[in-house]
Every structure is written in C-alpha cells, then in structure tokens.
Amino acid sequence: MNGDDNDDDNYYFDMDRLLPRNISDEAATLLCDFLAELTVIAETRYYPHCSRHRDSHPTPVDRLHPWRGMDID
C-alpha cells in the first residue's frame, strides 16, 4: 500500500513477509491453531452478517463450468 488510488494495490499482501516459510514446526502449529480458533470465533460472531451478504450477492455462474459454485448437499 503505497498511497496510490489503485484498488489492486489496496488488497495486496506480501504473503512471504506475513507468513514466512522458514519458521519452526512449533511456531507453525501455534499459528495454525490460533488462526483456526480465530476463524471459529469470527464465523460465530459474524454469521448473520455473512449470511445476509452472501444472500444478497449470489455467486456468479461460470458459463463454461456451470456446476462450479453450486450448493450440492
């Protein structure tokens, strides 16, 4: 994020800098456990918000692969 008005830059994350590959097994496990727990907490807290958003913004159909994105139970 360099202050430009380019929307693509606003959503760019340097994943190698944020999540370096050369960490210990213990650190990787702690990070993954934390992220899993954070995901559960966020989904629990914000489920109604996400549900409303998803309902009002349906996934577009891929004309070449119409089966992609289908809710198959």
pLDDT in tens, 14-48: 888 889 999 999 999 999 999 999 999 999 999 99
Residue 73: pLDDT above 70? no
Counting every residue, how long is the chain? 73
Model pTM score: 0.56
22 residue type, one letter: N
Please enumerate in sequence order all residues whose Cβ is within 8 A of that of 34, keeping only pairs 6 or more positions apart, or say none.
none
Q: Closest Cα to residue 31, out of 44, 12, 18?
A: 18
How far from 1 is each of 8, 9, 18, 20, 73, CA to CA, in Å? 9, 6, 14, 19, 41
